Chain A
Amino acid sequence: MASDASLQLNRTSSNVPLVAVSLLVVLIAIGFMVNINVDNVMSTFEFEKRSEARVPAFMFRISLLIIALVAGFIAIINTGLYKKNKIAFSPWIFLSIGLVFFSIYVIIPIFQSISYSFTRWDGLYDVNGVWTGEWIGFHNYIVLWDDPKFWTSLWNNVLWLILFMLAVPIGLGLALFLNQTVRGIRIYKSLFFFPFVISQVVVGLIFAWAYNPDFGLVAEAWGFFFCEQSVNIVGNVTTKCSIDPPSILGDEDYATYGIIAAGLWPQIAYCMILYLTGLNNVAHDQIEAARLDNAKGWNMLRFVILPQLKPATFIAVVVTVIGALRSFDMVATMTQGGPFGSTNVLAYYMFDQAVGEGVGRYGYGSAIATVLFAIMLVYISYFLFRMYQDEKEGR
């Protein structure tokens, strides 16, 4: 009995010496980490230039961080407090590594980017690695407000969001159409799904060529009706048109729509496949019950099928919104924001101002990024809220 009790006690009490040593290691590691900087490493290891010492300094810091983390874990799991509350603590220990890196690569850069938006900076550090920008307060935002290109980009973002949503109903339509048992249906399904497998860059290029008013598919079809071949001054064959073929990507009024149409092609395929999987899970007994109640056509779809497809619809809307906000690669491959910036979206305009073509307005680019972030935050918050609600209901 007595030995049992002591064992019990032992299991929940702290291993004091180990905890103390581990904490000491943590403190020393953190102490070193704070003290080690580029100048230090440079003087200790006799590097000639500050820039040479950067990599070793970084390596030292990372190693010290890992040592501190490991020692920290050892300290924590050996305390009595942890042993008593294992269930509550454990998830945080597993999460902590992810949290550290999530902070380094996502959270901290967000705040850095926001802080750059209050500066004028051309993206350069001087020879000693000192930042060369200057603090200018809200100036970038004032300029942004006055910048028609910013409003063009914002409007294009809205257009993308609205028109991209067409992918959801069209995808549903295709899924309903393909959800039948015909010989070889899998081949048709695969063919419809095909555009989603191709890289966005390739889709962009294909459409850009198709739209080309000189040799594209659109021009060929147009030429069939309005153009005829003739011989020019040097005796070569040339094409003369009574009405010129539309220059879709070269006209500010059509270019954005042209890109969105190209973006819709793979997105529809994606929504279609989401609905197809959703349709597989539709309960047959409910459909049969509805049939008995004489439901068919629109009513069947509206009141029986669609409610069961709600999870698929939710995911389809989410990925479509994300797709619309990720329109960057389509814009980059098809028009680079042109003609004269009329197809810019915020993401591309930000890239263009900060890093594109060496323009180097990092402060201004960061201000655009901050606005884009604020807009996305609304959507992300709603999404997280929905997830949270679902989780709560699920419990």
Chain B
Amino acid sequence: MNSILKSGFAGLFATSLLSSAAMAGDLVINYDDLNPAPKAAFEAAVEAFKAANPDINVTVNNTDREAHKSAIRNFLTNDAPDITSWYPGNRMAPFVDAGLFEDISDLWASDANLSSKFNAIKPTMSRDGKQWGVPYSYYQWGVYYRKDIFDKLNIAEPKTWDELLAACGTLKDAGVTPFTIGTKFLWTAAGVFDYINLRTNGYEVHNALTAGEIKYTDDRIKATFANWAEKIDKCTPVKNHATMSWQDAIAPFANGDAAMYVMGNFSVSAYKDAGLTDEQIDFFQFPEITPGLARAEEAPADAFFIPANAKNKEDAKKFLAFIAQPDIQGEWNKTLGQLPPNSDASINTDDKFIVEGFETVSTAAGLAQFYDRDAPAAMAKAGMEGFQKFMLDPSKVDEILAELDKVQAEVYK
């Protein structure tokens, strides 16, 4: 009853669409980024695809990212497009498990690009040993810092934990807050947690944690939080971070009141919008904590998937193969300012952040997708609230971890 009512009312508006969309040769793509650069990059790729396949009639529905997140739950069953953007890792898991995404392992096996040029990212696109989507872009995370402040205080890019803590001490003595961050929307804190956990325990333990195989009260995770507490103590984050978004947190960074920011590469354009230049900002990899541990990085990918209810799967696969090509991926990510997952694709060598990012990601021993994509959404929400609480009061760590264990026991069933 419920589903029929729902589809009925969605359908009242969509009936006209349905009837026209059923013809062969039509390809409907749902995309979820209205920001200027991603939109332009996506549209350029679609135009290229149209030019290469004049017989396919491509329709694009581009929506806001948050709206897409809730809409996808309905349209996958009721009014599926032929291709939809979504995220790999655990974010795709519910849809894969409910049988709502099409298995495209055959494409991965047969396509020249997918079978050989995507090895680094293939595990992220896989679940149950099959592949479910094709990534078009990803980007590195790391520490962005004020090079001019570092130079003025004679601080070199820290390579180890001790060097980082020492740098923080120097900065504080000079009246500069070491780190800026805005945790109002929670996820920024997860970036810091991910890195400290990846550097303390390594990729395997981090993965096991987000997959629900080890508890939050595990000694190894407690060690991570002990390191984090040390960082909060010695590398004090800006005050009031709980009321700031990640964009708000750029203000003290741009003003020179704070010197470092653990962020993703998408933030660079925002620094530049805030008036900073390439000479004033730079990037370093998050420093080593446990010596000798294989270095893993955060590199969230964006991908396209074929819904199981798609009407035109043949052309959808054609599109996925098309966007896996090195030149398309190269162009796309030059516009986007991100990294192409295809290892043959060229990168924008004029952008020092892209060059460093490519170096960082391509030499990493493992790629994490970011906490809120690696962990199931329900766990991620509780986890990130816990991280924010921890950042506001590190002494509550035991209470927080016990609480997360409870949620974990509930969510991974």
Contacts and interface: CB of A to CB of B under 8 A. Distances in A.
Judge: A and B partners, yes or no. Answer: yes
B18 A52 contact: yes
Interface in B355-397: 377-378, 381, 385-386, 388-389, 392
B361 to A, nearest CB: 26
A31 to B, nearest CB: 18
A1 interface: no
A141 B21 CA distance: 44
B8 A58 contact: yes
B26 interface: no
B4 interface: yes
A356 to B, nearest CB: 8
A13 to B, nearest CB: 40
Nearest to B2: A112
A338 B184 contact: yes
Interface residues of B, number: 66
B240 A214 contact: yes
14 contacts: A49-B309, A51-B80, A54-B3, A55-B8, A124-B94, A124-B95, A233-B174, A236-B256, A244-B239, A338-B385, A340-B385, A359-B378, A360-B94, A364-B410
Given A52-B22, A232-B256, A143 B410 contact: yes
B390 to A, nearest CB: 9
A126 B99 contact: yes
Interface in A190-216: 211-214
B77 A125 contact: yes
A340 B388 contact: yes
Given A124-B95, A250-B240, 4 more contacts: A104-B5, A129-B77, A238-B256, A339-B392
Contact of B388 (A120, A129, A146, A339): A339
Instruction: Give the secondary structure class of B's interface.
Output: helix
Given A146-B406, A232-B175, A359-B377, A124 B77 contact: yes
B18 A339 contact: no
Contacts of A244: 239
B403 interface: yes
B14 interface: yes
A123 B8 contact: no
Instruction: Give the secondary structure class of A's interface.
Output: loop
Given A55-B14, A125-B77, A126-B98, A338 B186 contact: yes
Contacts of A15: none
B277 interface: no
A236 to B, nearest CB: 5
B52 interface: no
A49 B240 CA distance: 53
The 5 closest A-B pairs by CB, nearest first: A55-B11, A58-B8, A234-B256, A250-B242, A250-B243
A249 B14 CA distance: 42
A54 B311 CA distance: 15
A341 interface: yes
Interface string A98-132: 00000010001000100000001011111101011
B79 A233 contact: no
Contacts of A247: 239-240, 242-243
Identify which of A52, A55, A148, A250 gathers the most chain B CB atoms within 10 Å of its CB. A55
B7 A54 contact: yes
Interface string A346-384: 000000110111111100100000000000000000000
Contact of A357 (B248, B377, B386): B377
B185 A336 contact: yes
Nearest to A104: B5
A129 B79 CA distance: 11
A2 B228 CA distance: 102
Contacts of B3: 54, 125, 129, 131
Contacts of A131: 3
B239 A120 contact: no
Contacts of A364: 410
A51 B78 contact: yes
Nearest to B10: A55
A62 interface: yes
Contacts, number: 160
Contacts of A357: 69, 377, 381
A95 interface: no
B101 to A, nearest CB: 10
Contacts of B386: 340
B35 interface: no
A247 to B, nearest CB: 5
A105 to B, nearest CB: 9
B377 to A, nearest CB: 5
Identify which of A48, A62, A214, A249 gathers the most chain B CB atoms within 10 Å of its CB. A214
B243 A54 contact: no
Interface string B71-112: 001001111100000000001001100111000000000000
B77 A127 contact: yes
Interface string B1-36: 111110110011011001000100000000000000
Given A52-B22, A54-B11, A233-B149, A127 B240 contact: no
A148 B400 CA distance: 11
B403 A148 contact: yes
Given A233-B152, A233-B176, A38 B4 contact: yes
B398 interface: no
A244 B411 CA distance: 39
A77 interface: no
A58 B7 contact: yes
A394 to B, nearest CB: 39
Interface string B243-261: 1100010010001110000
Nearest to B184: A338
B1 A213 contact: no
Contact of B413 (A120, A212, A252): A120
Identify which of A249, A250, A361 gathers the most chain B CB atoms within 10 Å of its CB. A250
A7 interface: no
Contacts of B186: 338
Given A233-B176, A247-B239, A127 B149 contact: no
A223 to B, nearest CB: 13
Interface string B140-167: 0000001011001100000000000000
Contacts of A61: 4
Contacts of B91: 358
A57 interface: yes
B198 interface: no
Interface string A69-88: 00000000000000000000
Nearest to A249: B243
A5 interface: no
Contacts of A238: 255-257
A119 to B, nearest CB: 12
A115 to B, nearest CB: 10
